[in-house]
Amino acid sequence: IKNQDWDVITIQQGSSHSAKPDKFTYLQDIIDYVNENKTNKDAKIAWHMTWSYKDGSENLQSIYPGMTQMDMYNGIVNAVQTKVLTAKGIDFVIPAGTAVQNARVPLGDTMNSDNIHLNNVANYMVGLLWFEKITGIDLNAITFVPDNATIQENEATLKKAAKDALSN
C-alpha cells in the first residue's frame, strides 16, 4: 500500500470463507488500515466479490458440506450485502462472483480450471468487468479478444454476463 500512490486498492475475503458472513470479523480493521496507510488520499477501496466453487466438487463439499454451488453463491451475495456494503470505506464492489454465476446459465458449469480458480474464459470476462468498473469505460468498447476459440465463440455471452453483473 505504501509502495505506490495507488488509485484503486482491492480487498477480498478468501473464497473458503466468502459465503460465511461470520468470517468477516476483521473487515473494518482492514479498511481502516488501508485508509491509514495509503499514500494517495483519494485512492478508492474496492471489494472483489469471489465466485462459488464448481458444483459438486470435493472442495465445495469439504468446506461447505451439503451446499450446492447456488447455495454458496447466495451465501457470498448475502455476505456482500450484510457485511461489505454496510462497512464504512468500501467505495465499490467488483461483482466477479455474479458475472461468473451469470455466465454459468448459458455456458454451463465451465468457468473453473480446477473446481475453485477461474479458467481463461472466465478470466477474460472478469477482466472486462474489472476494466469497466474501475475505468468507467464500457466493456463493449473493448475489441481485443484473445486467441482462444471458446472466448471468441462466446464473447457476446461473456460480455453480457459481465454487464448484467454490473447492473444488478
Q: Is 115 exposed, middle or buried (0-12, 13-18, 19+ CB in 10 A)?
A: middle
State the average pLDDT over residues 93-98. 98
Report how far residue 1's alpha carbon sits from residue 4's, in angstroms, rounded to the nearest whole number.
Answer: 7
pTM: 0.96
| Structure confidence at residue 165 as a pLDDT band (50, 70, 90) | very high
Q: What is the pLDDT of residue 97?
A: 98
CA 27 to chain centre: 16
pLDDT in tens, 19-57: 999 999 999 999 999 999 999 999 999 999 999 999 999
Q: What is the pLDDT of residue 116?
A: 94
pLDDT in tens, 56-89: 999 999 999 999 999 999 999 999 999 999 999 9
Say how many residues make up the chain.
168
Q: 35-70 burial, b for 16+ CB within 10 Å, e for fewer?
A: eeebeeeebbbbbbbbbbbbbebeebeebbeebebe
Report how far residue 92's alpha carbon sits from residue 64's, in angstroms, rounded to the nearest whole number.
Answer: 27
pLDDT in tens, 99-155: 999 999 999 999 999 999 999 999 999 999 999 999 999 999 999 999 999 999 999
DSSP letter, residue 118: B
Q: What is the pLDDT of residue 110?
A: 96
Q: Of 84, 81, 60, 80, nearest to 72 (Cα)?
A: 60
